[in-house]
Amino acid sequence: MTTLDAARAELALAVLYLNKAEARDKICRAIQYGSKFLSNGEPGTAQNVDKSTSLARKVFRLFKFINDLHGLISPTAPGTPLPLVLLGKSKNALLSTFLFLDQIVWLGRTGIYKNKERADLIGQISLFCWMGSSICTTLVELGEIGRISGQLKKLEKDLKNSEKYQNEQYRAKLKKSNERSLALVKAALDTVVAVGLLQLAPKKVTPRVTGALGFTTSLISCYQQQLSGATAELNRHSRRTHINAGGGLESTPSGRRDLIDAGSVDYKEREMSGKRVKVRVGL
């Protein structure tokens, strides 16, 4: 692969990432809380950036409450303990309420909703809902990490220490545990951010502390979005990759054989199972 090909691939990933509204929202969130850290609650350019970015982010969240509303009424995974189910549903309900009320706050900030006092009250209620959802998320992640830890210990007993990292199931569980740990850190920090926004402990959780923690959780969210996007893209390409061992025809996942235009597809010969086959690489 040439340098130009590598650059094109990197730009394609960047385009794929930035095409997601959630990713753009998290980038704006990083700008918002970074500005809050710089301003420390003092009037000036940084505070103006903080306020304007906060208002702009609310547009990204229009009708987003439907996502958690769908999660609220969706069935849970089989075998999930009842306490974790209740905490998960509570998180969905609180987050959905926060996102719904946040739309009313946006209407108040733009001047469409004229009752400023009520809009401010709704804003406070929405932040309490977000704080509650962050607490629920923290507890859910703690419970899930405990479950995965137990499963890992059971696998370690079944496998020899020298072989456990060669086991696909063990590696998958370990990866999931790391992802849950990162989500736990983010949820715990978001709880403190909510405390700062609500000014429940103004002497300890100052605007600068709130900004620093919010900026940190924003970077974590950006990383999680990139990770999930890369995983989804890898899975998509894996499903679309077809191995052709019979010349001009290839087998699709449905068993149908389609004619390939050899002039429009690149192939690479590889050694597989003792036979030289052509692998389609131009997707």
Q: Answer yes or no: pTM beyond 0.85.
A: no
| pLDDT tens string 236-249 | 555 554 434 444 43
Question: How confident is the model over 120-131, as a mean pLDDT?
Answer: 96
Q: Which two tokens stand for residue 241?
A: 């990759």
Mean of all residue pLDDT scores within the chain = 82
Q: What is the pLDDT of residue 16?
A: 87
| pLDDT tens string 2-16 | 888 888 888 988 888
Burial of 69: CB neighbours in 10 Å, binned 0-12, 13-18, 19+: middle
Q: Mention every residue, 6+ apart, whose C-beta is less than 8 A from residue 181.
A: 141, 145
Q: What percent of the chain has pLDDT over 70?
A: 80
Q: What is the pLDDT of residue 279?
A: 41
Q: Are 138 and 79 in contact (CB under 8 A)?
A: no
| pLDDT tens string 140-174 | 999 999 999 999 888 888 877 667 778 888 889 99
**Is a pLDDT exceeding 60 seen at residue 265?**
no
Q: Where are the domains of the chain?
A: 3-240, 243-280
